[in-house]
Amino acid sequence: MHVTLRQLSVFHAVASHRSFTRAAEELHLSQPAVSMQVKQLEENVGLPLFEHLGKKIYLTEAGTEMFRCSRAVAQQLAETEQTIAELRGVERGQLAVAVASTVNYFAPRLLAGFSQRFPGVHISLSVTNREGLLKNLEGNESDIVLMGQPPSSQELVAEPFMLNPLVIIAPPDHPLTRLRRIKLNRLQNETFLLREPGSGTRIAMERFFAERRITLSTGMEMNTNEAIKQGVEAGLGLGIVSLHTVGLELEMKRLVILNVEAFPIERQWYVVHRQGKRLSRAAQVFKDYVLDEANSLQGEVQPAGQRHRE
């Protein structure tokens, strides 16, 4: 049986409307052109597909079978068209991502995986602290933001995707490294290096100790995780950082995590965008990608032995 797609789609329109006239209108063809396609299809099939009774037309048994087939083909074509349109959207998209400075320790790995899968998407990445990200969201500057839990006061959609444990780091020769379950009070004898105001890590740390009525003595203020780590290594004080920032230093035994009661501070990373924002196809796919990849990433970014319960 030789059937062309053209014949099938014309037949489908006639069968759907049970009318040659309306099929012709829908397809922007003349009525004789529609009749011709149907006639040729009937010749190819070797059986009539329509019965004309009075002014009405009906499907014959062969016509009913053919209609089942044309419906399946039409549906398949529509789905394929949709998939291709989506692929096209992702392939040529632009994507503006902003991440917390602390997230930037693993964000490049996420972006690399995404770029490999969607090489046509042009990504711009901006890195700043929590305060900068909240301004960014307010100004609608990025498609997707990866950060700590945003305040509920802003109209945002925020979905957690990965744990973010905050730990206390010390140089390997610090006396506290020999102790287990160090009491929080004991930390009051130590000096802590601080991230800048506006850092999510700092806000979480301050909240944690304020809730427990513990006052820490604070030393230098530094505006990057790198500076905090270097400062701790140099013996300027203890530091509180995300576990995700110290993988290398722990491996090289340049820093040690102290075993302190109630630690780590349990936080989460969130994928965030403004409520009501029309996400581009590329942004939607990136968001799904982050949520999907989080599990495998969690294993990579969290040094063995430091995984912790939710």
Cα 143 to Cα 261: distance, rounded to the nearest angstrom: 39
The phi, psi pair for 27, rounded to 5°, reads -90, 0
Q: Does 129 bind ligand PGA (CB under 6 A)?
A: yes
Closest CB to ligand PGA among residues 12, 130: 130
Site for ligand PGA in 135-194 (CB under 6 A): 147-148
C-beta of 19 vs 102, nearer to ligand PGA: 102
The answer to whether residue 244 forms part of the interface with ligand PGA (CB under 6 A) is no
Q: Give min distance, CB of 107 to ligand PGA, in A.
A: 11
Please state, in angstroms and rounded to a whole number, the distance separating the CA atoms of residues 142 and 283: 10
DSSP state of 156: E
Nearest to 237 by CA among 222, 253, 259: 222
Smallest gap, in angstroms, from Cβ of residue 245 to ligand PGA? Answer: 9
Q: Which is nearer to ligand PGA, 24 or 255 (CB)?
A: 255
Q: How far is the CB of 233 from ligand PGA (least distance, A)?
A: 19
Environment class of 168 (CB within 10 Å of its CB; exposed 0-12, middle 13-18, buried 19+)? buried
Least separation, in Å, of the C-beta of 201 and ligand PGA?
Answer: 3
**Residue list 41-100, contact with ligand PGA (CB under 6 A):** 100
* C-alpha closest to that of 225 among 212, 243, 207: 243
Residues whose CB falls within 8 Å of the CB of residue 177, separated by 6 or more in sequence, listed in order: 170, 256, 258
Would you say how long the chain is, in residues? 310
Name which position in 63, 165, 200, 264 contacts ligand PGA (CB under 6 A): 200
Element of type H or E holding 53 = strand 50-53
Stretch that binds ligand PGA, among 3-11, 63-71, 198-206, 232-240 (CB under 6 A): 198-206
102 counts as binding ligand PGA under rule CB under 6 A: yes
Q: Which is nearer to ligand PGA, 100 or 238 (CB)?
A: 100
Cβ atoms of residues 88 and 59 within 8 Å: no
Q: Is 264 in the site for ligand PGA (CB under 6 A)?
A: no
Structure tokens at 228: 């905090």
Question: Is 229 one of the binding residues for ligand PGA (CB under 6 A)?
Answer: no
Number of residues binding to ligand PGA, judged by CB under 6 A: 11
Which residue has its beta carbon closest to ligand PGA? 200
One residue of 201, 280, 284, 302 binding ligand PGA per CB under 6 A: 201
Nearest distance, CB of residue 244 and ligand PGA, angstroms: 10
Burial state string for 34-61 with b = 16 or more CB within 10 A and e = fewer than 16: bbebbebbbeebeeebbeeeeeebebee
- Which positions touch ligand PGA (CB under 6 A)? 100-102, 129-130, 147-148, 195, 199-201
